[in-house]
Amino acid sequence: MKNIQSYKDKQVLVLGLAKSGYAAAKLLQQLGANVVVNDIKPLEENESAQSLQSIGIRVICGEHPPELVHSSLAAIIKNPGIPYSNPLIQKAVELNIPVLTEIELAYQISEAPFIGITGSNGKTTTTTLIYEMLLTGRKNPIIAGNIGTVACEVVQTASPSDYVVTELSSFQLLGVQTFRPKISVFLNLFEAHLDYHGTKKEYGKAKSNIFMNQTEDDYLVLNADDLEVQTLATTCKARKILFSSKQAIPSGASVIDGFISYCEEKVMKVEEIALPGQHNLENILAAVSVAKLIGIENDAISHVLKTFTGVKHRLQFVTSIQDRLFYNDSKATNILATSKALSSFTQPTILLAGGLDRGNEFDDLKPYLKHVKALVTFGETAEKLIRIAKEVGIKSIEHVDNVEHAVPVAYKLSQPNDVVLLSPACASWDQYKTFEVRGDIFVEAVHRLK
């Protein structure tokens, strides 16, 4: 860990706890900062705040007093989920106080280089693939960020020979200042999180922060088939490595003559890949690009791709019951993710979908519903999804209270060789704390059918 002096004797506010805020507060104290932690959860119910208080950190819980933000603050470390419309953040911006996220703090102290992965979809799968390829190739990867351990915890013991592999959201990337990954990956961009960013332009701008500090000594792996990503990357100084699942890329990663190829070198046959779905081919090509840049041998790459079947909650195969195949894609929190999941199958499908209403309609889902024989819907968006299902001629439509109730209903509507797919196309927050909770409930309900 770098012994930085940037925060020594400086006043720093940590706004919002959870795992990242808790880790950031402890690290800042270690770096000599005068730390104040503010969290909306009352102290008597807040174990993390109590723990920080016990080691001498000042905590203020249950409210957000405006006087916490003042001109003497050196920085605010903000929980990524807290919007910039928050009055304390607005006041900080007016006072020109840096508003950072934990990933920036982690980068500042890390001796290990970062590999950062962002995009609207596929981040978790690509991050996990890169980690597994580096692990198999004995390159000392550490997985951190949205998956794995909090980054500013793991980097404290990371060495220059390690690689910190991080999945990065637009929320995290809005709060970076000096963050500069050795390799950045920009998978795709489509309309998402507009309730947070306001416009797609601002959302894309936040995503592009992943490469804003990169130089000619760094690499940017990006999607040759996404014109908006290409446009955003025109300002990037890093060396660009393109990948494409639709066209041959002689100087990048693509499919040539049925082989995953990198710079025209055949890595392995596409037919040998264990992970289903055309969209996953994009994730694979991005991961292969990173692995080859780091010097991973083809044998290690192909071993991972022959054995890796997916991450939990992302098109995760659950089980087969009476020849029905059950898949958990709870991480599909938007239309694009669900459309890609549906495109992964050709057999008749019972779709379980619904959740938080962010104001959008679901017409873009229509082309992908051709083999959906039944819809079981729940949550705030149920009526919108029912309208779409009727318009495309789906005969069996059921409205249920929640995911748990959806599973037995879907089973009754299914026949042998059908797919039962949870792919909500919506965030979970109307009924469940996280998409992981939603997915776990689905998996438990499926196993109860046995």
Give pLDDT tens digits for 144-179: 987 778 999 999 999 999 999 999 998 899 999 999
**What was the pLDDT predicted at 193?**
64
CATH of region 11-100: 3.40.50.720
- Top-confidence residue, 191 or 60: 60
Cα separation values, 148 from 93, 198, 321, 391, 443, Å: 31, 29, 32, 42, 21
Q: What percent of the chain has pLDDT over 90?
A: 84
The mean pLDDT of 94-119, rounded to a whole number, is 97
C-alpha 271/C-alpha 156 separation (Å) is 41
235 is in an annotated binding site: no
Phi-psi region of 355 (alpha: psi -120 to 50; beta: other; left: phi over 0): left
122 is in an annotated binding site: yes
Give pLDDT tens digits for 62-87: 999 999 999 999 999 999 888 888 99
C-alpha 57/C-alpha 50 separation (Å) is 9
The mean pLDDT of 319-331, rounded to a whole number, is 94
Residues contacting residue 160 through CB under 8 Å, at least 6 positions apart: 111, 112, 113
**What was the pLDDT predicted at 180?**
98
Give pLDDT tens digits for 266-320: 999 999 998 877 778 999 999 999 999 999 999 999 999 999 988 888 888 899 9
Q: Which two tokens stand for residue 396?
A: 């069996």
CATH of region 316-449: 3.90.190.20
**Comma-separated ranges of CATH 3.40.1190.10 domains in the chain:** 107-307
C-alpha 214/C-alpha 65 separation (Å) is 38
C-alpha 216/C-alpha 114 separation (Å) is 16
**Comma-separated ranges of CATH 3.90.190.20 domains in the chain:** 316-449
**What was the pLDDT predicted at 145?**
80
E strand spans, 87-205: 99-100, 114-118, 141-145, 163-167, 183-186
Give pLDDT tens digits for 233-257: 999 999 999 999 999 999 999 999 9
Place of tokens 């962002």: 118
120 is in an annotated binding site: yes
354 is in an annotated binding site: no
C-alpha 33/C-alpha 13 separation (Å) is 10
Q: Please name the amino acid found at residue 134.
A: L
119 is in an annotated binding site: yes
204 is in an annotated binding site: no
State the DSSP H helix or E strand holding residue 325, giving kind and residue range, or none if neither.
strand 324-328
| Burial degree of 258 (CB within 10 A; 0-12, 13-18, 19+) | exposed
Count the Cβ atoms, other than its own, within 10 Å of residue 402.
15
pTM: 0.79
**What was the pLDDT predicted at 137?**
97
Residues contacting residue 177 through CB under 8 Å, at least 6 positions apart: 98, 100, 104
Task: Give the SS3 label for residue 64.
Answer: coil
Confidence of residue 192 (pLDDT cuts 50, 70, 90): low
Give pLDDT tens digits for 384-441: 999 999 999 999 999 999 999 999 999 999 999 999 999 999 999 999 999 999 999 9
Listed in sequence order, the DSSP H helices in 110-199 are 123-136, 151-154, 170-173, 194-197
Please check the confidence at residue 350 and state whether its pLDDT lies above 90: yes
Please check the confidence at residue 443 and state whether its pLDDT lies above 90: yes
124 is in an annotated binding site: yes
Domain 107-307 has CATH 3.40.1190.10: yes
Confidence of residue 445 (pLDDT cuts 50, 70, 90): very high
* Mean pLDDT, rounded, of the chain: 94
The mean pLDDT of 104-131, rounded to a whole number, is 95
| Percent helix, strand and coil across the chain, each to the nearest 5 | 40, 20, 40
Count the Cβ atoms, other than its own, within 10 Å of residue 11.
14
